[in-house]
Amino acid sequence: GAGVSQSPRYKVTKRGQDVALRCDPISGHVSLYWYRQALGQGPEFLTYFNYEAQQDKSGLPNDRFSAERPEGSISTLTIQRTEQRDSAMYRCASSWDRGAGNTIYFGEGSWLTVV
């Protein structure tokens, strides 16, 4: 597609429910990233993929968070047993390849509110 596409744009869920956030990267982009952004803060790295391989998941806050990219294109970030502190904007990004110098393009994000 023309840009990084994320869905849903807005999600309100009850505490304890599972949520799945979807990211469709720019066509042909090898690397895909997930970031989380709290209000008034900059984005914080969660995890990234090169093709279908999850290369770094050091930013995932705990084992309730997981991500997959089974065919090296679309990715899903799943949060199990959501808590209020999970409320944030979740941003997906993609680039041609990993590493410095490869411009990283962000989607519009998915706003998650846990009530």
Q: Which residues are at the interface with another protein (CB under 8 A)?
A: 3-4, 31, 33, 35, 40-45, 48, 55-56, 59, 91, 93, 95, 97-109
Other beta carbons less than 10 A from residue 41's beta carbon: 10
Q: How far apart are CA 67 and CA 60, in angstroms?
A: 9
Question: What value does the CA radius of gyration of the chain take, rounded to a whole number of Å?
Answer: 13
Smallest gap from residue 1 Cβ to another protein (A): 13
Q: How far apart are CA 42 and CA 22, in angstroms?
A: 21
Q: Which is nearer to another protein, 46 or 114 (CB)?
A: 46
Smallest gap from residue 73 Cβ to another protein (A): 17
Other beta carbons less than 10 A from residue 114's beta carbon: 19
Q: Which is nearer to another protein, 24 or 43 (CB)?
A: 43
Smallest gap from residue 62 Cβ to another protein (A): 19
Task: Evaluate whether 47 touches 36 at the Cβ level (below 8 Å).
Answer: no
Q: Which is nearer to another protein, 84 or 100 (CB)?
A: 100
